[in-house]
Structure formats: C-alpha cells, structure tokens
Structure 1
Amino acid sequence: MATLLVTGGAGFIGSNFVLDWLRRHHGDRIVNVDKLTYAGNRRSLAAVEGQPRHVFSQTDICDRAALDALLATHRPQAVVHFAAESHVDRSIADPGAFIQTNVVGTFTLLEAARAYWGRLNAADADHFRFLHVSTDEVFGSLGADDPPFSESTPYQPNSPYSASKAASDHLVRSYHHTYGLPVLTTHCSNNYGPYHFPEKLIPLMITRALAGKPLPVYGDGLNVRDWLYVGDHCTAIRTVLARGRVGETYNIGGWNEKSNLDVVHTLCDLLDALRPKASGSYRQQITFVTDRPGHDRRYAIDARKLERELGWRPAETFETGLRKTVQWYLDNPGWVKDVTSGEYRNWMARQYAAA
C-alpha cells in the first residue's frame, strides 16, 4: 500500500485528483490536508467519505507542528502540493492571504517534508517525491504572435497571485538544489471540469446563465487562455509523479487556445442545446464589464516536453471536455447550491456590482 499526502485535496483540482487516484489505485491511501477555506468543500469528496483509504485532516499548511505529526503518523511516499489561494481577482483585493498560503505555507510544507525525508532510510528516501503544482501565470503575458510558454520561459508574474506562485516555485527549486529534496514541479494552464468553484470563468458562466443573471465578460473578451480538462491534468500529474525526472519542471496544457468570449459563446450554445430557455439564447445574457487591473492578454502552454519524455497528451478536446463539464453542473444542482451561498454571494455582489 502506497500513501500520498495531498494538500488542498478538498479544492477543485485536488478533489478531482484524490477521487481519481483512489478510483485507480485500489490498494493506496491518501492523507488529505485542507484548511477548508471558502473554496474547499468536503461535499466534493462525498464518494470517499468514511473510507479507511481516505484520511481527511482539516489543517493549515502554515501549521508546522500539525504537518510534522501527519508525516510522522502516516509516513507517505510522496507529497502532492495543490493547496493555494488561486483567484486573481481575490489576490488584487486581498494579496496578504496569497502571500501567507502560497509563500509561507509552501515554505512550511517544504521544511516539514525536508525534516521527514531526512529521517527516512536510504531506500525510502530515494523513492520519496515532493510534487509542487504551479501555474502558467508565473510566466506573464504573451503577445498574439509569441510562442507558447516553455519550461525555460523567464518568470514575469503580473498579479499578486502569480507573484506568490512564482515565489513558491523558487522555494521548491531551491530546496532541491540546496538540500537535495527530490522535487518535481508542474505548470498547468486553465483547468475546467467538475467541482470547480464558481468564481472562475466557466463555472461562473454556467451557474449565472442557469440563474438567468448577466454573464459578465471582462473588457473586450478577447483575452486568450489555454484550456485543460481537469481529468487530463490529473493523469499528467500521475505520470510526472511516477516517471518525472527529479528536479525538473513540466508544462501541462490542453492545446486549446480560446478567447474568453469564444468560451462563453460555446457555453451558451451548449446550454441552449442541453437546457434550452423558454425563449431566446443564453447569449443574450452576455454583458461586458470593466476590465480587471493588470489583466494578462494571452497564456499558451507548450507541453511537448511532457509528451516527448513521458508520453502524455490530453485525452479530451475542448469540445468533449466542456460538454462533460456542463452536463456535470446540470446534474449536480445540490453541490452548486451548497457552494454558492454565504460568503460567496457577498463576494460576487462586490465583484460584479454593475452586472
């Protein structure tokens, strides 16, 4: 039986990873560490609640003593680090929370992992891995004709969120080069799929469209992102964890560059087909709002290194992944209702007051 310690495992990507891992690896166990902020939701983990192979701990990754105890008790073979504050708009409003979780929290986790790794016997230490999940946003913004981000693209973070993730990346790299900690780092493009908290573009548009509310699109809507289905991301992380070269970074992308407006149009068309309105199209709900400060124009990922070295490519196209995503939200109104209450509603009222 292998044991993984997963941070942020009640969040969007983390919960998908936990569910996917336990479904595929029937003899393995996951220790799921999550602070349960507004974006963490144990309801996303309902399928594994109560299973002995899923150990949940409501723990802040800034709590060194708690991390030490978890590592000593459960003796994981790997740490997979998803835990992060991740929404750019929130980082503009409250950057301090991003520094605390993404920088201080990653540092604290690295220190705990280094101490734990240092006490392992030679064979176990050789097999131990610390996989840090990062973002393409650390590389900054691309022009329309610029080549996609590669693993050697210089860092140019443009928001407090991306700056905090860049800092955590540098810390992870330094712990390998200074202490020899066996680390791996991945940079992913924009994820979408089930259990996605509805402050990000795709779930936000789905939930607001179904509620008959305006669909707020920043600026001219022509900001471009590369879109990656979360199931493909989980497969890529498993691949890097199993066969990635220690100390290396790997870009994970979906090869799906789309403007925000194209994404919203496609979503509206899917909803028109799957949940038609009494009259008209969901496109009629689109409204343009003032652009957010420092809005990066384009992200694009070159994932050829991952394909060349480890043989990974995404299984979903944007169209197949998006249809699965829309259908999941249509099939799970209870989950949506649960997460779109309280603090979330207050934040939405402040963020899109004019919409």
Structure 2
Amino acid sequence: MATIDYARRVESYYPSKVREVFALAAKPDMISFAGGAPALDDLDFDFLADASARILREQGRAALQYSIGQGVPVLREAITQVMSLEGMTAEANRQVVTVGSQFALNLVAQNFVDPGDVVLAESPSYAGGMAVFRAYEGEVRQVATDADGLVPAAEGRRCRLVYTIPTYQNPGGTLMPEHCRVELMEICERHDVYVIEDNPYGLLGFDGATHRALKADHPERVFYLGSFSKIFAPGLRLGWVDPPAEHVAMLVGTNETGVLNPPTFTQLLVAAYLRDDGWQDALGHMRQVYARKAGVMVDALREHMPAGVTWNDVAGGFYVWLTLPEHVDAYDMVAPAIDRGVVYVPGVAFYVDGRGTHELRMSFCLPSTEQIATGVEVLADVLRQESAR
C-alpha cells in the first residue's frame, strides 16, 4: 500500500470527543443530552411547503441555478432586520452568506490565522471553533471564565484574534454582562485585536429580552457570526458573517473559492420565512419550549444529583454545564451512562489542553421533558456508582 503524505496542517487535527460520543451513542431510544439540535416540532411545515412550491413556480430557474458568492440580496436584506433585534445597524452589502456559521468561522480563520498565531478563546469554549483554529495551525489559548463568561482582565498577551460567544455561551451557558463586554472591547481596541463574536443563541433568551451585540458598538473591530440553525432549521445549512467593511471583498472571494455560492433555493426559502410576520411568534414559542425544558432539567438536577455537583444558572440557549467532584472523571462515566441509555458530552471536549475532566455539558433542547427527567435521574445514579469506586 502506498504511503499517504497528508498536508502538514493535518498534524494539527485532533479527535473530537463530541464525535467519539456520538459514535458510542448510535443506539435506538437513547436519551441524548449531547447535541445542540433544535426542536423542530412546532415549525409551520405547511407554510414552508407552500413557500417552497411558490419559489419553484415563480423563481424556479433562479432558485435552482448558481448564484453569487456573497448571497442573494433578498436574504442579506432580511439578515439586517434580524441583526437589528440586538442593536446592530447592519448593511445588506456587508453581509456574506455562508453554508452555516461554522463555515463563516472557517472563512475568518482561513484569512487571519497563520501557523503559530495566537487565538484567545473562552475556557471552556465551543469545540468546533477550537477545531477550526487548530486546523489552520493557530495556537489556541483559553483564558479564564467565570459565571459571566470571558474574564477580560485575563487578556494581557499579544494575539491575532479573540473568539467569544458572549450570549448564552456554548458550552457554559454563560451570559456576558454589559460591563464585561465594554471592558473586553476596550482591551481589544487598545491592543488592535479583532474579535469574532459567534452568536447562534442571541435570540434564545427565555425572557424574550435581547442583549446588545459587541458588533453594535464596534462594527469595524468585530466579525459577527450569525446562524439560522438554532432559530430556524440546521438542515438548511445557512449562516452569515458581518465583517469589518474593509474585509468584505476578501471574505466573499474566499467564500467563492470554497463553495462557489451558498445554496440559492434555501436562501430564498429562509428569506420567505423571515418576510412572514409569524417567524418571531414561532421564535417566541421556541423560547418558551426551551425555558420549560431547562426548568425540568434544573429541577431534576436539584432533586437527584449528589452533593458536590454544581451547575450554571440557565437563562437562555441550549446548555447546562455541570462541575463534578474533582475525583470523578466525566469521560469515564460516558460508557456506563450509554449502557443505561443516556449520553452527554464530557468537558474535555471543550478544552485544548486536557482540562475539563470533572466537567460535562448537558443539552436540553431536543429531548422531551419526560426524557430529561428520566435521563438526569439515570445520570445521577451513574455518578454515584463512579464516585464510590
């Protein structure tokens, strides 16, 4: 067999603990606290079916044809209205539509991260983000966080980018308060560092309130990443990036190199969805569903978890972050939990240096309330057995 010489950058890839967990969990009837998949039961599928048919009847030749690398204008205009909900005055000609916000992150990293460049990120942080930076051979340094998210004072080193999820963070569920946002941006302005603001959960606060995006007050300092995966449907694979103005053309060119253009039909479908006044009502209902599920999870944790287990307050997003007693390894619990029909993601998936052994992430977005209550009770029992070893 011939020797395969992969590109040097492949050496920086590392196995994802998230993917490992999903591989172990490929069983029917599994209660999954692992993925960040939205609940889609309440989408108006009749509306979407009618809109799809209308698009094909009236715009079929365009909808099924190649388009432009920046994204169709009607969707980019709709995106500016979505962004206005978090205080941003966005311009359609600055939006770059991408095949999911993950690819938007890839575009920024591809253009700004050289081998050895330092990228600062929260600790813990989104595993997919860490994988992107490491794929381009960046040196990810995760700085301290607390219940409010990234601790700005921890940033004292020269870096290329700061990556943050300030609103209902993945995996920690934290919400960065206004004073921390101000301090973070002051530091980045002072040191001339760009910020990647990843914001898939910003409209999913349980109380319906939104929080002013970093981008709103620093449009030329922030690459803002948005996604339709959490507020609409991940299967459409659409997101976007709003970059500083001087980098729009560069990102469009890179987008064209990678995918030619994002899918035209799904862009038109999302634009039709956003033109309908009912989409915000549907979003409000989603928030109620997630709030109810989060409440069930927290109540079950209070009832069943042994002493020494703590978790974050949950005000929005998809996740609860648990800290276990230090002698318990969350990864060692994965297999026995799966044997009993429950799966979660161990904390080490969200660090680049092996930390997180006694932490784990639980997602409440997809399972039913009954599954959540049952799954937490099972997991608490597994934890007691592991603690007794």
TM-score tier after normalising by the smaller chain length: 0.3 to 0.5
Looking at both structures, which has the greater relative contact order when contacts are Cα pairs under 8 Å and sequence separation is at least 6? 2
Larger Rg: 2
Using structure 1 for the length normalisation, give the TM-score: 0.35
